[in-house]
Structure 1
Amino acid sequence: MEEFEQGALRRVAGVEAEMASARQAARATFRKTRRVNLRVTERDFDLALARAR
């Protein structure tokens, strides 16, 4: 933390490409791409719903 506060840290080579890759992965994480239908018992559905809430 001290080095950061003093401005002694430097960027590593290729950081822009790495950051772009991380941004793309983050966007893909929350993108909904598929619809899925599942058959479950009423009890399992209620448990999943309670957990989601």
Structure 2
Amino acid sequence: MKSKSNLSKLVTLLVLCGFLILAIKHGNIIESLIFVILILTFIAVKFIFNKN
């Protein structure tokens, strides 16, 4: 179970890095930051609900 959690964290990190790279290539840094903040908020909420 722990390895699955680490794998999901790794995949999430890779996805975030991918979106950041794409956004920087297109020059929408502010939009990408807002998007990353939304994703991080979603992940935090998911982890909080998983603990309960």
Structure with greater proportional helix content: 2
TM-score w.r.t. structure 2 length? Answer: 0.38
**Larger gyration radius, structure 1 or structure 2:** 1
TM-score w.r.t. structure 1 length? Answer: 0.37
